Amino acid sequence: MKTLQDYIDKLNSLNFKDMYNGDFFLTWEKTDEELEAVFTVADALRFMRENNISTKVFESGLGISLFRDNSTRTRFSFASACNLLGLEVQDLDEGKSQVAHGETVRETANMISFMADVIGIRDDMYIGKGNAYMHEVVDAVTQGHEDGVLEQKPTLVNLQCDIDHPTQCMADMLHIIHEFGGIENLKGKKLAMTWAYSPSYGKPLSVPQGVVGLMTRMGMEVVLAHPEGYEIMPEVEEVARKNAEKSGGSFRVSHDMADAFKDADIVYPKSWAPFAAMEKRTDLYGKGDTDGIKALEKELLAQNAEHKDWCCTEELMKTTKDGKALYLHCLPADINDVSCKDGEVEASVFDRYRTPLYKEASFKPYIIAAMIFLAKFENPAQVLKKLEERGMDRIFR
C-alpha cells in the first residue's frame, strides 16, 4: 500500500524547479522529470482525496476558464481541479464581455486577472491561432504583473489548442501507467494512434498530435495510422521522431489500420480532420467566406465517407496483443448504431471498455490540479507534507 510519503519522496527525487511560476502549453516543452512530477502530484492529490485529506491550498482566488469550443469532460475537470485546491471558477463568456465590442486581448487578460491564480483556455478550432492566443494572454498578464497592475501572474493551462491537448494526453498517459504498473514497464509497448471514420467533419488535430508527441517519450513503439490525405502537422511528426530516437522507442506512419492494430498493446482509434483542410478552413473563416466553408464541409464529409472501413471492430481487436489491447478514447466516441450508423468503434467493443474509458477520463481533474500546484508552489513536496500534518478532513466526520 502506498502512502503519501511515497509520493513526497518521489517528488523530492525529481528536478522540476522551472515549473514554479510557469505555464503549461505543450507537453514536449517540458522535461521528462517535469512530466513525471505532474504524474506524481496528480497521484498524490488523488490519494489524499480518496483518504479524506483536504487538499485546499487556497483560501480564496479564482480560476478563469475560457472555452472557445464545446466541452464536457475538460470543462468539468478544470472546475473540479480548481475546487480541489480551493479556488472558485468563473467562466469568461466572450459574448457577454467587452471582447464583443473590440476589447483587446491585453486589456481583457488583465481585467479578469486581479484575483486570478490560473487561467484555463480551450482554443482548438483554427490552425495557427489557438496556441498563439494563449501565448498572447500570458504575455499580457506577465506584463501586468511586472507593471504592478496584478499582484500575481496567473498560471495558464492549455485545455486544448490547435497543436496539443496536454491535459487529455497526460490523463491518457497516467491511465496507461496505472494499467501497465509503472512508466518503467512501457518501453517496447506498441501503441496505435489511428484515424477512424466519423460522420462529422472538422475534428481537431490536437489529440492525435498530443498522443504521438507524448507517448514517443516513453520508449514505446508508436504507429500513427491514417488514410492518405489525413496527415497531421509535419512539425509534430518531427517532434515524435526525435522523441522516439531519444527514448529508444520508435515512430512510424502507416496507411493501414490493420497494420497498426497488429500486436498492439494499446489502441487509440479517433477521427480528425486533415491538416491541409484545417489550414484551408482557418483561412476561409478569416475571410468570412460562408459559401467556401459550406463547400469545404461537403467535400470533407464525402472524403470521410470513402473510409468507413476505418473502424475499431471486434475483428481488429482480436489481432492486438493477446486480443486484449487497452482501448483508449478522449470521448465522446462515434459508436456504431448508437450515436451514429457508422462511426469510430463498434458498440460491443466500446461497451466492453466503458469502465476503463471512464477511469481514463477520471485522471484529468488531478492532472490539471497537479499542473496548477507545481506552478504555484516553489516546494510542492513540503506543501503536501504540511497538508498531511494539518490533517483537515475533506468531509467532516
- Model pLDDT for residues 78-87, shown as the tens digit of each residue: 999 999 999 9
| pLDDT on residue 237 | 98
Same domain flag for 347 and 381: no
Report in angstroms the alpha-carbon separations of 128 from 131, 149, 161, 329: 7, 30, 9, 25
- pLDDT, mean of residues 232-244: 98
**Do residues 108 and 97 lie in contact, with contact meaning Cβ atoms separated by under 8 Å?**
yes
Give the bridge partners for 251, in sequence order: 222
| pLDDT on residue 43 | 98
| pLDDT on residue 397 | 85
| pLDDT on residue 186 | 98
| pLDDT on residue 99 | 72
| pLDDT on residue 78 | 98
178-193 pLDDT, tens digit each: 999 999 999 999 999 9
Same domain flag for 180 and 292: yes
**Do residues 159 and 121 lie in contact, with contact meaning Cβ atoms separated by under 8 Å?**
yes
**Do residues 197 and 344 lie in contact, with contact meaning Cβ atoms separated by under 8 Å?**
yes
What the block records as the C-alpha cell of 396 is: 467532516
DSSP 89-149: EEE--GGGSGGGGT--HHHHHHHT-TTEEEEEEEE-SSTTTHHHHHHHHHHHHHHHHHTTS
SS3 of residue 67 by DSSP? strand
Which domain, by its residues, includes 368? 4-164+364-390
**Band of the pLDDT at 101, cuts 50, 70, 90?**
low
**Band of the pLDDT at 93, cuts 50, 70, 90?**
confident
Same domain flag for 303 and 357: yes
The CA distance from 173 to 69, in Å, is 23
SS3 of residue 222 by DSSP? strand
- On the question of pLDDT at 100 being above 80, the answer is no
Same domain flag for 319 and 386: no
| pLDDT on residue 102 | 76
Residue 395 inside a domain? The answer is: no
Give residues with Cβ within 8 angstroms of 23, minimum separation 6. 138, 155, 156, 157, 375
- On the question of pLDDT at 211 being above 70, the answer is yes
The CA distance from 210 to 190, in Å, is 17
Same domain flag for 157 and 200: no
- The pTM of this model reads 0.97
- Residue 9: CB atoms within 10 A of its CB come to 12
Report strand pairing: 266-269 vs 326-327. parallel
Residue 396 inside a domain? The answer is: no
CATH classification of the domain holding 265: 3.40.50.1370
Same domain flag for 125 and 257: no
Per the structure, the count of domains in the chain is 2
Same domain flag for 311 and 373: no
